[in-house]
Amino acid sequence: MSHQLGRVVSAILQRYFGDIVQQVGSDLFTYGSKPIGMIVKTSGLARPLVIDSLRTLLKFDLASFEPTANEAIADYKLIPDNVLLLIRYPRYLLQVKSKYGSEAELLVEELLQQATCTSSMLLVTIATKYKDDKEKNITILKLKDMFISLVTAGYIQQAPVAELKEGSEVPTLVPVATIVPDIEIRPLVQAMSTGDMSELKDNIYWRVNYDRFHLDFRDEIMIKAITRRIDENAGELMRFLLEQMYLKSPAWAAESSPLCALELRERCRGAAAERPLLHQYVDQYLKVLEENGGGFVRRIGDSGGGQLCVRPGLAARQIVLAALDHTVTERLGSKAARIFRLIRARKYIEEDDIQKNAMLVNKECKQLTYKLLEEHFISVQPMRKAASSGGLAKAVYLYHIKLHDVAQAAQEMCYRSLHNVLRRAAHTRAAHARLVDKMRRVRTIVHGMRLRGEPQQNIDDVEETLTPPELAVLQDVEKRLKQLSTAELELDRNLFLFKWHFMHPEK
Amino acid sequence: MAGRGRGRGGSNLSLTHEQLQALGIARGDNTSQVLIPPPLFPKLEAKPLPLTSDAATDYMLIVKDLFIEYLHESPAYVKRKTKTDGIERYSDKYKMLALNAKNNKVLDCVWANMPVELRPQAKRTHVSTRKRKLVDQDAIAKRLQTLEKKENEDDTETVDSAENEKAVKSQEADDDEDIEDEHEEELEMDDGTDYANNYFDNGEDYDEEDDNLDDGPVY
């Protein structure tokens, strides 16, 4: 709950929901939880506006509420982590599209837009939207099958259900276990043809399960890391290991329970057609994975052909360390990175020893060390020696890396730059709003004229209302906005790494 | 004592000469003092890496823009009611049309999952039904009847001799209730503030729990 987090959350709310929701959101962020009356008072907004904003926040699961002491009104509370997830929505869509195809993409997209929705409503809406689209060939039957497979795979889950306690006006939301539904197709088709949704009696609401997507991201990162470190066969082996892990341990466990190497060999034999080499050298690959796989996999016993254990917790640590190395290199140069690695290797090291071992000029070495200290990449631990006979009490300064603190600092950096990116984009957009608006209008007019089949001459006339300098500016603006937008996505990737790491606290 | 001894050394510097040397600052090394503030936008020391741009990124960018556009069009994007500055413009008509289309929409939520105070028009309907009750003569008559019935049921053994009297009484009681109703209404009207709620804690149950614990120390 840092200052930087507050700033970035406020900027995201502004981008997605506008100024008023932003005001309410940052008000809630600063004060923790409070009822409507208090929000109205501190934010200075009219009550209906506050109510509208709270509806938006609650709908998209960006805020929660609980009854106050007197049970009649509710206290509202912002959920900053969920606000940050808004930036990750495109990544979810990409994931589901590449894994399940375009129907799944449509389903998840619509569900993300609606936040919560009943299955029949969801299916009918999408089917009606793409009724005339011959290219995509979307039928309600296919959508239904896809919906069920997404629910089975856990990407979509049942939304929490409201429970009203006796004598209270504020419901409490209780999470429910997801049951794979049995959807009847006939009433849906009927509703689609008549366009009347009121006939559908469906009161089970669904929403996207972000956590399932995060698991996918985690697996992908681990597999990619192994692939890059060893080779593709090893990456595939990692995938099999993770598959087995899902069967035997909780999904977010820091260490899996023992996995049997025999089953793994079976699995490789199954995939022998695609990866003959992997099948041939399973044992060797396992050995390499153990010894040179960054500690992702560990052998914990030899019974039954070998017992293995996957360690996502350690993997997160390794990957965060790599990310930090990279950050230091990019920010302070490779020499600073050398010092950083040296300190990490030695755990605790004196300043003199850094100079001796880093193979740098003394002064430069000191400068870089202090710079690292200043930017919170390393910490210093003074150890006072007892006063020696010389009179001066000498102190030893031990430099070391507190991974948790450094990761926190790096996360703050991400928040800060995310905020900067959002602000900059908002500024650019505001500065060129008129021009962008003009371009959009010209485009719609031209599009309309093309449809009506008007002569090229007239179309050119309309297009020429945008002067060449204006076009140049527009191109520049578009390029810059695209760059900023890409930066947002990249920053979110890094934020995911840190969040994953914090999920497995060190013992 | 040692601290005082050092203090007598006479230097007002925060660091002694030796300490400075240990930090790598030699005698003539002191840089001249900087008197101007640092630049507002300092030059970047290192150039950032180029961002990746591939099909996947492009796809995500498009999807993101679509999503944001959808939100901006939807009632989730809360806007103030625009005030006109009194000057009529030709474009006003279209602007108002667009605004009205948006304003009339209410965010589509699962109202059962929301606190009552957020549901649309929950409060207003409540108040209006009450008002109607006050005016409606039929309702009053009906209520009187039900009250009468109740009383009859309550004490069946008592004789109905003073029925008229009772009726008058109940009428009075009902009038009182009406006044009370009005009061309640007022209370409900300024629900926005917390004055109506009884938050007062007289402190009586402040250390209730402690009393029980004070039986004696546990050894």
* Cβ neighbours of A51 in B, within 8 Å: 117-118
Whether A345 is in a domain gets the answer yes
Which residue in A23, A59, A213 has the most chain B C-beta atoms within 10 A of its own C-beta, making it the best mutation to test that interface? A59
Tell me how many domains chain A contains: 5
For residue B28, what pLDDT is reported?
62
Q: Where do the structural domains in chain B lie, given as residue ranges? A: 54-76+92-108, 117-191
Residue A209: its pLDDT value, please? 92
Q: What per-residue confidence (pLDDT) applies to B79?
A: 79
- Interchain CB distance below 8 Å, B63 and A55: no
My answer on whether A112 and A199 are in the same domain is: yes
* CB contacts, 8 Å: A90 with chain B: 59-61, 63-64, 67
Distance CA(A226)–CA(A233), nearest Å, equals 9
User: What pLDDT score was predicted for residue B8?
Assistant: 47
Chain B residues lying within 8 Å of A387, measured CB to CB: 2
CA B106 to chain centre: 19
Same domain, yes or no, for A191 and A116? yes
Q: Which of residues B214 and A188 earns the better pLDDT score?
A: A188
Judge: B114–A173 Cβ closer than 8 Å, yes or no: no
Contact: A90, B107; criterion CB under 8 Å: no
Say which DSSP state B105 is in.
Answer: -
Cβ–Cβ gap A489/B57 under 8 Å: yes
Which chain B residue has the Cα nearest residue A170?
B115
pLDDT by residue (tens digit) across B108-131? 778 888 888 888 765 543 433 444
Listed in sequence order, the residues at least 6 apart from B150 whose beta carbon sits closer than 8 Å to its beta carbon are: none
Q: Are residues A107 and A62 in the same domain?
A: no
Q: Which residue of B has its CA nearest to A329?
A: B46
Distance, CA of A13 to CA of A21 (rounded, Å): 7
Torsion of Cα atoms, B185 then B188 then B192 then B195, to 10°: 100
Residues recorded for chain B: 219
Spans in chain A with pLDDT lower than 50: none
| B2 or A500, greater pLDDT | A500
- From the list A18, A40, A160, the residue facing B77 with the nearest CB is A18
What is the residue whose two structure tokens read 């009943």? A118
Residues A459, A309: Cα–Cα separation, whole Å: 67
Q: What confidence score (pLDDT) does residue A459 get?
A: 84
Q: A105 and A29, same structural domain? A: no
Distances (CA, A) of B67 to A86, A109, A237: 10, 8, 37
pLDDT at B49 over 90: no
Same structural domain, A325 and A349 = yes
Task: Write down the residue that tokens 């200052």 correspond to.
Answer: A3
Residue B26: pLDDT band with limits 50, 70, 90: low
Q: What ipTM, to 2 d.p.?
A: 0.87
- By C-alpha distance, the chain B residue nearest A55 is B118
The helix/strand/coil state of A41 is helix
pLDDT on residue B5: 46
H-type helices in A197-260, by residue range? 210-229, 232-248
For residue B133, what pLDDT is reported?
Answer: 45
Q: What is the structure's pLDDT at B129? A: 41
**Residue A178, in any domain of the structure:** yes
Please compute the mean of the pLDDT values over residues B60-81 and round it to a whole number. Answer: 87
Residue A91 lies in a domain: no
The pLDDT of residue A474 is 92
pLDDT tens-digit map of A32-48: 888 998 999 998 888 88
* Tokens, residue A457: 């001459």
A246 domain residue, yes or no: yes
Cβ–Cβ below 8 Å for B60 and A90: yes
The boundaries of the domain holding residue A191 are: 101-208
The whole-number pLDDT of residue B9 equals 44
Alpha-carbon distance A248 to nearest alpha carbon in chain B (angstroms): 33
The answer to whether A169 contacts B113, with C-beta atoms less than 8 Å apart, is no
Report yes or no: A118 and A48 within 8 Å, Cβ to Cβ.
Answer: no
Are A351 and A368 in contact by the 8 Å Cβ rule? The answer is no
Element (H, E) at B208: helix B208-213
Are A198 and A237 members of one domain?
A: no
Q: Residues B83-98: pLDDT tens digits?
A: 666 677 777 666 666 6
Return the pLDDT at A456: 85
Q: What is the CATH number of the domain that holds A108?
A: 1.10.10
Confirm if A84 and A62 have CB atoms less than 8 A apart: no
**Per-residue confidence (pLDDT) for residue B118, from 0 to 100:** 81
Inter-residue contact A92 to A210 (CB < 8 Å): yes
Chain A nearest C-alpha distance from B157 (Å) = 36
Distance CA A55, CA A11 (A): 19
Select the residue of A89, A205, A367 nearest B110 (Cβ to Cβ). Answer: A205
Nearest CA among A224, A305, A294 for reference residue A264:
A305
Query: What phi and psi values does residue A84 have, to the nearest 5 degrees?
Result: -65, -30
* A130–chain B nearest CA distance, Å: 17
Pick from A384, A383, A366: nearest CA to A374: A366
- Among A402, A348, A411, A394, residue whose Cα is nearest residue A377: A402
Do the chains contact at B78 and A56, CB–CB below 8 Å? yes
Contact (Cβ atoms closer than 8 angstroms) between residue A193 and residue A166: no
C-alpha span between A165 and A87 (Å, rounded): 36
Q: Do A113 and A190 lie in a common domain?
A: yes
B interface mutation test: which of A41, A56, A213, A418 has the most B CBs within 10 A?
Answer: A56
Confidence of residue B100 (pLDDT cuts 50, 70, 90): low
User: Based on the domain organization, do A145 and A54 belong to the same domain?
Assistant: no
Tokens representing A238? 């990692």
Instruction: Establish, for the pair of chains A and B, how many residue pairs have beta carbons separated by less than 8 Å.
Output: 136
pLDDT of residue A204: 86
Q: Kindly report the backbone phi and psi dihedral angles of residue A395, in degrees, each rounded to the nearest multiple of 5, phi listed first.
A: -115, 145
More confident call, A273 vs B2: A273
Position B65 scores a pLDDT of 92
The CATH number assigned to the domain holding A61 equals 1.10.10.10
- Inspect the interface and report whether the beta carbons of A170 and B60 lie closer than 8 Å: no
> In this complex, do A59 and B107 lie within 8 Å of one another by their Cβ atoms?
yes
Tell me which H or E stretch contains B100.
helix B92-103
Q: Tell me whether residues B51 and A490 touch, CB distance under 8 A.
A: yes
Tokens of A117: 């929705």
